Amino acid sequence: MARRPFVAGNWKMHGSSASNQALLAAALADGKRCAGVDVAVCVPFPYLAQAAGALQGSGTGLGAQDVSEHASGAYTGEVSSAMLADLGCTHVIVGHSERRSLHGESDALVARKFVRAMASTLKPILCVGETLAEREAGQTEAVVLRQLQAVVQTTSPERWAHAVLAYEPVWAIGTGRTASAQDAQAVHARLRAALATWGAPADAIRIVYGGSVKPGNAGELFSMPDIDGGLIGGASLVADDFSAICDAAQRTH
Ligand code: 13P
């Protein structure tokens, strides 16, 4: 089945109102130029309104990098899915490895956030991935399937068509080390098979790769049958690099 590739920038905690302008203009142009590719940028909370204004009416999606598990209430510092949707967000990242490792987010909490996003109009981008120690211990498959299953078992499978799954091996994030296209493909295929077993519309779900994706390796990764695009960190902060990665997604699908 032909899936539309999805390429999202994750700016993490970078940017300023001044520096964002050029990146947003470039992302808007990428979304227009790359017909057939869904392009999105996930910006820090304080810049969502700026990004929503800059991207308004364009095909480029807008994502937040986290969401509260709660609908509303006395949760100082938290941001709800309704607020994100109200601001114009189309997507939200849940379960990024930096949230899991630096903020102690458990599989169960990630699942609750995913459900909360699903209950709104937001499309969740669920991140899974193993650490270097887990990979070296031969646990890659067990870890990513555990992370995925925690979410799948709390949701109804048919609703997954709106979600994006991101395989982000922790050891490849921000390190310049990328999973080989073959290794990443093997994990993606395993994730897709698991989604199918659980009754989700596996053929329709985009499974994107993240971890040191650059213009030089994007084409090879994206040409794999189960790699449907990328979640891009560092390279999404360099407009020309992000554009080249969006172009690679278009070329290879
Ligand atoms: P890098 O592309 O900087 O490795 O980051 C990947 C990532 O964590 C995207 O969410």
Residue 50: pLDDT band with limits 50, 70, 90:
very high
Considering only CA atoms, which residue is closest to atom 1 of ligand 1? 233
Residue 40: pLDDT band with limits 50, 70, 90:
very high
* Catalytic positions: 96, 168
Measured in angstroms, how far is the CA atom of residue 7 from the centroid of ligand 1? 12
Q: Is the CB of 231 under 6 A from ligand 1?
A: yes
Measured in angstroms, how far is the CA atom of residue 194 from the centroid of ligand 1? 24
Measured in angstroms, how far is the CA atom of residue 128 from the centroid of ligand 1? 12
* CATH number for domain 63-206+224-231+239-253, candidates 3.30.2350.10, 3.20.20.70, 3.40.50.300, 1.10.1840.10: 3.20.20.70
* pLDDT above 60: residue 26: yes
Considering only CA atoms, which residue is closest to atom 5 of ligand 1? 233
pLDDT of residue 238: 98
* pLDDT above 90: residue 253: no
* pLDDT above 60: residue 241: yes
CB contact at 8 A, 245 and 235: yes
* pLDDT above 60: residue 1: no
Residue 158: pLDDT band with limits 50, 70, 90:
confident
DSSP code string of the chain: -----EEEEE--S---HHHHHHHHHHHHHHHHHSTT-EEEEE--GGGHHHHHHHHTTSS-EEEES---SSSSSS-TT---HHHHHHHT--EEEES-HHHHHHS---HHHHHHHHHHHHHTTPEEEEEE---HHHHHTT-HHHHHHHHHHHHHTTS-GGGGGG-EEEE--GGGTTSS----HHHHHHHHHHHHHHHHHTTS-TTTSEEEEESS--HHHHHHHHTSTT--EEEESGGGGSHHHHHHHHHHHHHT-
Over residues 101-128, mean pLDDT? 96
* pTM value surpassing 0.85: yes
* pLDDT above 60: residue 247: yes
Output the average pLDDT for the chain: 96
